[in-house]
């Protein structure tokens, strides 16, 4: 139907299941199990009352000022997006022409390849080492290489590379290195400070996970102002709406909520990881709000199906050249316990 | 800064001014002067209370069901976007490869060229006739032509082509003809019925203008299901957030509000058009929520500047090969009257 060959032959990104039924326990898409800050409801109500008939602020100035205060950057270092997927799309379109190359590690976020396919770009993947570190060739020069995605913490592993290692990679690369920090609020380290010293380091964040706002679609990029200025040409003029700007600003202002939530999630992560290890799973040390669990004998697909039949959704992850496993988002303590009980039965 | 040549040399789309000051009378970006349906505030509050921690429905099912009922289409004929600009972007990326061609009339919506530039596509413009009809060559075959944009009603003119004329153009074109109906709710005619008979007719709508929801970013496309299926591969998975889906669904459900608003806006349009003509302006018959006014002697830029200095923003429009003019959005009766009073002074 009229579409480009690149589009016709691709199948599109398949998001994790979003069941309609409320009784399902959803541990498959790394959402936060807790509702967001209570400051959001009044902020949204105020924005509605102010009237929605005018266009929103095209630059989300209020959010950028507040996020800048929290993170220690001037607002012109920040670009807002309709979710961090919007940021990844903007960067792909800005940096990579048809036939040029995007590099990212394997296994990692499945969307990177989709974005490359839509853009008509070539893909170079570099396998993680078995301990989830990255080999030096991840920073090797390559003809036509225009953008490197590096999720940190990574999905599905939850593992993190040190900022020192990432600085080393950035120095060797002569194209943008987009560090996708969707899960960084749950980690001990992040790469924000690298942005000041490295014009090619871009750090992407989302409010979907650590602020409990997946339904809102709000992400942002931190990069040097010259980079942000170019990316502004590519984004939709009004890519963030008035309600999401109001809600996101309230959310990032409430750092006490973030710290409290972070404590709960990291405690739940320990509960899950330790419980899974006791059941014989191999679980890499996670710095995210999920864990990746590989069982030596039980088949991951069977575990996924059995859990689903009992009303618990996790993500079944099967990657080329990699043992398959299940990725489990951290739930409430009760949800985590229920899952462990089910898996105890299933792996007995 | 690392960006593609196409991006570096372009300047990006400049949205109409969004002044911070509240006292400004804003008739420059075709917003609705009235607040949206009162059903929206409770719908948004309910969505906030339901919790924003889960991802939104990737297909905005509730909106598509409701819009389908209102417009007489099954939901699979509808694709939702983060504003109709998102729909235009999705179509550009899906249909047009680097070096291929997009056609649109001149003068019309300035974003079309920006979208082509970002995509690395070529642009073919076809001038409107002086009476704002389109010459036959708008449908002429052309090597590499992959997408045609046709705003109807058009901006800046506000003029409309008949569905019969557009059907004729569609039959001659062998690529998608995207009829951009951002302003169609203010017109007597539209092209929705063409979508059933012509697989290459796509109709784009927005809630920004006629539903008073520019701040919300919500638009949609009506096209044959095979087309929608391909476009779904290109859109961001969760391009519409939970709050905008809830608000948009409430808005399109309230057709009584739409009809009432439409009456007010079309009455204001008559007030403006007649008043401007009495002052000597040439004003094409508008089927939108704005009028385009060309004065035989007074310079449009001078009028724009003088109005702005008195706190009234209109849009100054200067296009190649076309007399310059001011585009004035329909305001409240009081705003329209105030503007006419000012212009009476300025053109005396």
Cβ-Cβ contacts under 8 Å, A212 against chain B:
51-53
The CATH 3.40.640.10 domain(s) of chain B lie at: 40-254
Among A54, A80, A258, the strongest candidate for a mutation testing the B interface, having the largest count of B CBs within 10 A, is A54
Whole-angstrom distance between the N-terminal and C-terminal Cα of chain A? 51
Q: What does the alpha-carbon distance between residue A338 and residue B49 come to, in Å, rounded to a whole number?
A: 26
Residues 6+ apart with CB under 8 A from B274: none
- Say if residues A184 and A152 touch (Cβ distance below 8 Å): yes
Strands laid side by side in the A122-127 sheet: A78-81, A219-222, A201-206, A177-180, A145-151, A101-106, A122-127
A251 lies within 8 A of chain B by CB: no
A117 → chain B, closest CA residue? B234
Task: Indicate the SS3 state at residue B283.
Answer: coil
- Does domain B5-30+256-347 fall under CATH 3.90.1150.10? My reply is yes
Q: What does the alpha-carbon distance between residue B15 and residue A58 come to, in Å, rounded to a whole number?
A: 8
Is the CB of A53 less than 8 angstroms away from the CB of B45? no
Strands laid side by side in the B315-317 sheet: B290-293, B325-329, B315-317
Task: Work out the pLDDT band at B16, boundaries 50, 70, 90.
Answer: confident
Cα angle A97, A101, A106 (rounded to 5 degrees) comes to 140
Residues 6+ apart with CB under 8 A from B247: A52, A243, B36, B40, B43, B44, B47, B213, B216, B218
Instruction: Give residue-wise pLDDT tens across range B194-212.
Output: 999 999 999 999 999 999 9
Return the beta strands (E) in A111-152 as ranges: 122-127, 145-151
Q: What is the pLDDT along chain A (348 residues), one digit of tens a residue?
A: 688 988 888 888 888 777 765 578 999 999 999 999 999 999 999 999 999 999 999 999 999 999 999 999 999 999 999 999 999 999 999 999 999 999 999 999 999 999 999 999 999 999 999 999 999 999 999 999 999 999 999 999 999 999 999 999 999 999 999 999 999 999 999 999 999 999 999 999 999 999 999 999 999 999 999 999 999 999 999 999 999 999 999 999 999 999 999 999 999 999 999 999 999 999 999 999 999 999 999 999 999 999 999 999 999 999 999 999 999 999 999 999 999 999 999 998
The CA–CA distances, whole Å, from A263 to A246, A331, B85, B102 equal: 25, 13, 40, 52
Return the CA Rg of chain A: 20
Displacement of CA A264 from its chain's centroid (Å): 19
Instruction: Give residue-wise pLDDT tens across range B255-306.
Output: 999 999 999 999 999 999 999 999 999 999 999 999 999 999 999 999 999 9
B110 lies within 8 A of chain A by CB: no
Give the number of A-B residue pairs with CB atoms closer than 8 Å: 250
The CATH 3.90.1150.10 domain(s) of chain A lie at: 14-35+256-347
Both structure tokens of A78: 């920040």
Q: Strands B101-106, B78-81: parallel, antiparallel or unpaired by DSSP?
A: unpaired
Return the CA Rg of chain B: 20
Q: Which of B175, B115, B178, B116 is nearest to B146 (CA)?
A: B175
Q: Strands A201-206, A219-222: parallel, antiparallel or unpaired by DSSP?
A: antiparallel
Q: Which of B12, B224, B237 sits opposite A85 (nearest CB)?
A: B237
Of residues B333 and B8, more confidence is placed in: B333
Q: What does the alpha-carbon distance between residue A177 and residue A200 come to, in Å, rounded to a whole number?
A: 6
Nearest chain B CA: its distance from A154 CA (Å): 20
Displacement of CA B54 from its chain's centroid (Å): 31
Q: What does the alpha-carbon distance between residue A250 and residue A63 come to, in Å, rounded to a whole number?
A: 8
Q: Could you give the count of Cα atoms lying within 13 Å of B224 in the half-sphere of its Cβ? A: 14
Residues 6+ apart with CB under 8 A from A334: none
What class has domain A40-253?
alpha beta
Helical ranges in B132-290 per DSSP H: 163-172, 192-197, 225-234, 242-253, 255-278
Among B241, B330, B332, the strongest candidate for a mutation testing the A interface, having the largest count of A CBs within 10 A, is B241
A213 lies within 8 A of chain B by CB: yes
Q: Which of A69, A62, A71 is nearest to A248 (CA)?
A: A62
Is the CB of B216 less than 8 angstroms away from the CB of A55? no
Nearest chain B CA: its distance from A348 CA (Å): 32
The CATH 3.40.640.10 domain(s) of chain A lie at: 40-253
Cβ-Cβ contacts under 8 Å, B95 against chain A:
2-4
A219 lies within 8 A of chain B by CB: no
Place of tokens 């009456």: B263
State the DSSP string of B36-103: --TTHHHHHHHHHHT-SSSPPPTT-HHHHHHHHHHHT--GGGEEEESSHHHHHHHHHHHH--TT-EEE
Cα angle A144, A147, A149 (rounded to 5 degrees) comes to 140
CATH code linked to domain A14-35+256-347: 3.90.1150.10
CATH code linked to domain B40-254: 3.40.640.10
Chain A neighbours among B 280-319 (CB < 8 Å)?
A: none
What number is the average pLDDT over the span B305-316?
A: 96
Q: What does the alpha-carbon distance between residue B337 and residue B271 come to, in Å, rounded to a whole number?
A: 8
Q: What does the alpha-carbon distance between residue A188 and residue A160 come to, in Å, rounded to a whole number?
A: 9
Q: Which residues pair with B150 in a beta bridge?
A: B179
Helical ranges in A14-109 per DSSP H: 40-49, 61-71, 84-95
Question: What's the mean per-residue pLDDT of chain B?
Answer: 96
The answer, as to whether pTM is greater than 0.80, is yes
Q: What does the alpha-carbon distance between residue A138 and residue A126 come to, in Å, rounded to a whole number?
A: 6
- Say if residues B103 and B142 touch (Cβ distance below 8 Å): yes
Please give the pLDDT value at position A21: 56
The phi-psi region of residue B315 (left if phi > 0; otherwise alpha if psi is between -120 and 50; otherwise beta) is beta
Please give the pLDDT value at position B212: 98
Cis peptide before A107 (omega within 30 of 0): yes
Displacement of CA A179 from its chain's centroid (Å): 10
Nearest chain A CA: its distance from B116 CA (Å): 11
Please give the pLDDT value at position A3: 87
Q: What does the alpha-carbon distance between residue B296 and residue B301 come to, in Å, rounded to a whole number?
A: 13
Q: What does the alpha-carbon distance between residue B184 and residue B195 come to, in Å, rounded to a whole number?
A: 15
**Any idea which of A238-247, B6-15, B49-58, B262-271 has the lowest mean pLDDT?**
B6-15
B207 → chain A, closest CA residue? A53
> Following CA atoms B58, B63, B67, B73 in sequence, which dihedral angle do they give, to the nearest 10 degrees?
40
Q: What does the alpha-carbon distance between residue A2 and residue B95 come to, in Å, rounded to a whole number?
A: 6
Q: What does the alpha-carbon distance between residue A166 and residue A139 come to, in Å, rounded to a whole number?
A: 10
Among A82, A85, A215, the strongest candidate for a mutation testing the B interface, having the largest count of B CBs within 10 A, is A215
The CA–CA distances, whole Å, from A335 to A270, A295, A339, B86, B163 equal: 14, 20, 6, 38, 57
Is the CB of B233 less than 8 angstroms away from the CB of A49? no
A329 lies within 8 A of chain B by CB: no
Cβ-Cβ contacts under 8 Å, A55 against chain B:
15-16, 18, 29, 31, 208, 214-215
In the predicted model, is pLDDT for residue B21 greater than 70?
no
Burial B122-138 (b: 16+ CB within 10 A, else e): bebbbbbeeebebeeeb
Please give the pLDDT value at position B2: 85
The CATH 3.90.1150.10 domain(s) of chain B lie at: 5-30+256-347
Please give the pLDDT value at position B20: 62
ipTM, two decimals = 0.95
Is the CB of B36 less than 8 angstroms away from the CB of A55? no
Cβ-Cβ contacts under 8 Å, A7 against chain B:
93-94, 230, 233-234
């Amino acid at each position: 139907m009229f579409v480009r060959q690149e589009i016709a032959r691709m199948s599109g990104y398949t998001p994790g299941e979003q069941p309609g039924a409320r009784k399902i326990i959803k541990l498959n898409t790394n959402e936060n199990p807790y509702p967001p800050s209570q400051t959001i409801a009044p902020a949204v109500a105020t924005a509605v009352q102010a009237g929605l008939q005018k266009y929103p602020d095209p630059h989300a100035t209020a959010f950028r000022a507040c996020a800048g205060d929290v993170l220690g950057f001037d607002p012109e270092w920040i670009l807002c997006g309709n979710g961090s997927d919007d940021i990844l799309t903007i960067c792909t379109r800005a940096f990579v022409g048809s036939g040029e190359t995007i590099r990212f590690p394997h296994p990692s976020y499945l969307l990177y390849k989709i974005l490359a396919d839509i853009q008509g770009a070539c893909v170079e993947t570099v396998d993680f080492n078995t301990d989830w570190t990255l080999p030096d060739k991840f920073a090797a020069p390559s003809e036509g290489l225009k953008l490197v995605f590096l999720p940190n913490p990574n999905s599905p592993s939850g593992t993190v590379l040190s900022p020192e290692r990432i600085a080393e990679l950035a120095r060797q690369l002569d194209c943008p290195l987009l560090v996708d920090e969707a899960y960084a609020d749950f980690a001990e380290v992040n790469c924000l400070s690298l942005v000041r010293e490295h014009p090619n380091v871009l750090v992407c964040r989302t409010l979907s996970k650590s602020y409990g706002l997946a339904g809102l679609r709000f992400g942002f990029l931190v990069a040097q102002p010259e980079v942000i200025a170019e990316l502004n040409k590519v984004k939709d003029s009004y890519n963030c709406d008035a309600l999401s700007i109001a809600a996101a600003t309230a959310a990032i202002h409430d750092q006490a909520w973030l710290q409290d939530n972070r404590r709960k999630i990291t405690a739940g992560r320990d509960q899950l990881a330790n419980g899974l290890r006791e059941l014989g799973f191999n679980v890499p040390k996670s710095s995210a709000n999920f864990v990746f669990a590989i069982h030596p004998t039980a088949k991951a697909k069977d575990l996924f199906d059995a859990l689903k039949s009992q009303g618990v959704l996790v993500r079944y992850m099967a990657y080329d050249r990699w043992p398959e496993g299940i990725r489990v988002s951290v739930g409430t303590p009760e949800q985590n316990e229920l899952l462990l009980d089910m898996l105890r039965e299933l792996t007995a």
